[in-house]
A = this chain, B = another copy of it.
């Protein structure tokens, strides 16, 4: 596996692959790789001849009071994991390579970026859309794979790729969970032991809503209440939002009649860790 730190180096590597008539599957990450990321790499390899991943803890998607500085960066371990998944190249630029002064250009996806997580993280999706567009322009993949765990991110990026005519196919892969249902996240390492034992309730609440949906319930209020009932029993976290929204517009629905996203964000009490999860009752992104 080649570790590439410069934009011209990455472009040259991709051009070499394309020159052989081979396709590229791309998995952009912020590192601290877990089984969720590795599952995205496997999906990318199923679709494309070569796998390229990136590790870049993107400063423009963190708010001023967020965890940019403490975000985990186990780079050597990440390299071993990416290589074990058959990654041909790992793009690992630093912030000065990606945002040389005087950097000024940002991509916004109106409406979608301001809902759900965008309420407490106002510039987050602007930062995500911008860095992903940059990475797509640099890596020039045929496919890019994102996880359903970050559903709003996938929906924002799908809209951006379509709106800006970016020549790439976006693939959304299923959320990978721990055996107790907790969605895998690089931020799970922040959790205290007490929090870790309580946060599986996040998915339990979503599953309660899912079961009610499968029994025929379509009222958003009643589906959301099934999840809320579970969260009210939690001591280690509080929900920041829990919403049932249209999967394309992210605007709240009253009754589920088409593809909808049931999304939740929680914050733990002790370590102040923000965790998100979601289900898509009867649909996909």
- Interface, chain A (partner B; CB < 8 A): 7, 11, 102-112, 129-130, 133-134, 137-138, 140, 159-160, 163-167, 248-249
Are A106 and B102 in contact, with the CB atoms below 8 A? no
Are A107 and B104 in contact, with the CB atoms below 8 A? no
Instruction: Look across to chain B and name the residue whose beta carbon is closest to the beta carbon of A161.
Output: B105
Pick the residue among B7, B105, B249 that contacts A107 (CB under 8 A).
B105
Pick the residue among B105, B106, B133, B163 that contacts A103 (CB under 8 A).
B163
Apart from A102-B249, A105-B110, A137-B165, list 16 A-B contacts with CB within 8 A. Answer: A11-B167, A102-B248, A104-B109, A104-B110, A104-B111, A104-B159, A105-B107, A105-B109, A105-B159, A105-B160, A105-B163, A105-B164, A106-B108, A107-B107, A137-B167, A140-B167
Interchain Cβ contacts under 8 Å between A and B, 30 examples: A11-B167, A102-B248, A102-B249, A103-B163, A104-B109, A104-B110, A104-B111, A104-B112, A104-B159, A105-B107, A105-B108, A105-B109, A105-B110, A105-B129, A105-B159, A105-B160, A105-B164, A106-B108, A106-B110, A107-B107, A107-B164, A108-B108, A130-B164, A133-B164, A134-B164, A137-B164, A137-B165, A137-B167, A138-B165, A140-B167
The CA of A109 and the CA of B102, in the complex, are separated in Å by 11
The CA of A138 and the CA of B248, in the complex, are separated in Å by 24
A262 nearest CB across to chain B (Å): 21
The CA of A159 and the CA of B249, in the complex, are separated in Å by 31
